[in-house]
Structure 1
Amino acid sequence: MELPLVVGVDGSESSLLAVDWAVDEAARHGLPLRLVHASLWERYERVGPSFGANRPAGEVMAQNIVASCAERAQLRDPHVKVSANVVAADAVSTLLRAGSEAFALVTGVRGRGEVAGLLLGSVSLTVAARAMCPVVVVRGEERDLGGSAGRVVVGVGDSTGGTGAVRFAAREAEARGWALTAVRAWRSPVHEPDSPTAESVPGEDPRLAADAAGAPEEQASANLDDALREVARESPGVDVSRRAVEGPAHRVLLEASADADLIVVGAQRRHGHFGLQLGSVAHALLHHSACPVAVVPHRV
Structure 2
Amino acid sequence: MVLPIVVGVDGSEPSLRAVDWAADEAALRGAPLRLVYASLWERYEGGSLAEDLNKPSEQVTAEDIVRTAAQRARMRRPDIAVSTDVLPEEPEYALVREGRNACALVLGTRGRSGFVEMLLGSVSLTVAAHADCPVIVLRGSHDNQVPAGARGRIVVGVGEQATDSAALRFAVQEAKLRHATLDAVRAWRCPAHETTDHPLLAGEPARLHEQHAVEVLDKALKDAPAAVDLHRRTVEGPARRVLLDASHEADLLVVGARRNPGHLGLQLGRVAHAVLHHSACAVAVVPEQA
TM-score of the aligned structures, taking structure 2 as reference length: 0.88
Give 2:70's aligned residue: 70
Specify which of 262, 276, 279 is matched with residue 289 of structure 1: 279
1:254 counterpart = 2:247 = no
Deviation at 1:149, TM superposition (A): 1.1
Q: Any conservation in 2 of the 1:147–1:261 contact (CA below 8 Å)?
A: yes
Specify which of 269, 283, 287 is matched with residue 259 of structure 2: 269
Secondary structure of 2:284's partner?
strand
Match of 2:10, as an amino acid?
D
Match of 1:186, as an amino acid?
W
Which moves more between the two structures, 276-285 or 144-153? 144-153
Match of 1:150, as an amino acid?
G
Give 2:35's aligned residue: 35
Secondary structure of 1:225's partner?
helix
- Classify 1:236/1:297 alpha carbon distance in 2 versus 1 (closer, same or farther; 3 Å): same
Deviation at 1:294, TM superposition (A): 0.2
Match of 1:287, as an amino acid?
H
Which moves more between the two structures, 222-231 or 98-107? 222-231
Give 1:211's aligned residue: 204
- Classify 1:111/1:34 alpha carbon distance in 2 versus 1 (closer, same or farther; 3 Å): farther
**How do 1:111-190 residues align onto structure 2 when only pairs under 5 Å count?**
117=117, 119-141=119-141, 142=144, 145-160=147-162, 163-190=165-192
Match of 1:20, as an amino acid?
D
Give 1:53's aligned residue: none
Which moves more between the two structures, 162-171 or 11-20? 162-171
Give 2:14's aligned residue: 14
Q: Any conservation in 2 of the 1:15–1:108 contact (CA below 8 Å)?
A: yes
- Classify 1:226/1:211 alpha carbon distance in 2 versus 1 (closer, same or farther; 3 Å): same
User: C-alpha separation between the residues in 2 aligned to 1:280 and 1:24?
Assistant: 30
State the identity as a percent: 57
User: C-alpha separation between the residues in 1 aligned to 2:181 and 2:160?
Assistant: 23
Deviation at 1:60, TM superposition (A): 6.1
User: C-alpha separation between the residues in 2 aligned to 1:147 and 1:66?
Assistant: 26
Aligned length: 272
Give 2:229's aligned residue: 239
In structure 1, the gaps of 5 or more residues are 44-56, 193-197
TM-score of the aligned structures, taking structure 1 as reference length: 0.85
User: C-alpha separation between the residues in 1 aligned to 2:69 and 2:2?
Assistant: 22
Deviation at 1:236, TM superposition (A): 2.1
Give the alignment's Cα RMSD to 1 decimal: 2.3
Give 1:48's aligned residue: none
User: C-alpha separation between the residues in 1 aligned to 2:145 and 2:127?
Assistant: 26
Q: Any conservation in 1 of the 2:111–2:117 contact (CA below 8 Å)?
A: no
In structure 2, the gaps of 5 or more residues are 44-56
